[in-house]
Amino acid sequence: MQSIQIGANTLSYDEAGEGDVLLLLSGWCQDHRLFKTLAPELARSHRVIRLDWRGHGLHRDHDGDFVTDDQASDVIAFLDRMEVEKVVLVSTSHGGWANMEVTDRFGSARVPRSVVIDWIQTTPNEAFFSMIDHIQDRTNWENGRGDFFNYWIGDTDNQDIIDHVNEEMAKYSFEMWARSGREIGRAYRKWGNPMQRMAVMAEHRPITHIYSQPFEPEYAQAQLDFAAGHGWYKPNKLPGRTHFPTLEQPKVVAETIRAFVG
C-alpha cells in the first residue's frame, strides 16, 4: 500500500491495471483487504484503486472526530490529487453514503455511474436502530457488534470471510465502531433509505446495487418497484449467503460490475 496526505490525515491506497478507473471503497471498520480477491479480477480490464478511509487501513491515527461528509471530501481531494478526471465509484455496505455524496457533488460528467454493494436499501426497522445504538454504548458495544457479525457471516465456512470479520473488522476500536453507528443512524434518519437519497440527487445517472443479503423476497421486490419508477436504478441479486460478496464470489461481482460499466 502507498500513503497520501489529505489535509491533516494520511490515507493508504494502492492501484493496479489500466483503463477506465474504478475506485473501491469499503464500509466502516473495513479496509482494502475486503477487496483482496475482487481487485485483481477487476484489474484485468480497468485501472483499479483501493482507497482506505481516514482512520482505516494502515493509518489508524486521524485528526479527531469526522462525519460522512468528511469522508466524501477526502475522496474528492484524493481524486483531484491523483488527477482522475472520470471514475466509477464502487462502495460496499454503508460506505455507500459517502459514495452517493461524492456522486452527487461531482455530477455525471466525472462520475458517470456508481456501484453500491450489499447496502440496506430499504428503511430499517427498530431492531436495526437498536443494534446501531448498542455499538455506541461503551458498556455493550461488543455484544451489539456481535449481533451484526453473526448475521453477516451467516452459515458460511469461507475462511476469508470469517477472518475478515473476526480478525480484521474486530480490530477496529470502540470509537470507530461508535462513530460508524452514529453516522449510519443519522443517515437513515435523515434520508429514510439509500433509494430515497439517490432519488433526490441533482443529476441522475445509472446506479446498480449488487447484493446477497437480506434474503426476504419483500426486500428484492421493494428494489424492483423502485427501479420500475426510476430507470437509472438497477438491482442485481446474487445467490450468495453472506454480507461480503466481494470475498464470497469475487468473479461474479467483477463480471456484474464489468457488464454494468461496459
**Is 243 annotated as catalytic?**
yes
- For residues 59 and 9, is the Cβ–Cβ distance under 8 A? yes
> What would the grid cell of residue 135 be?
455499538
Catalytic, out of 46, 56, 94, 243: 243
Q: How many CB atoms within 10 Å of residue 2?
A: 9
CA-nearest of 181, 168, 95, 93 to 137 is: 181
d(CA 83, CA 81): 5
DSSP secondary structure letters along 149-177: HHHHHTT---HHHHHIIIIIGGGS-HHHH
Give the Å distances, CA to CA, from 10 to 29, 54, 122, 145. 16, 7, 34, 27
Among all residues, which ones are annotated catalytic? 243
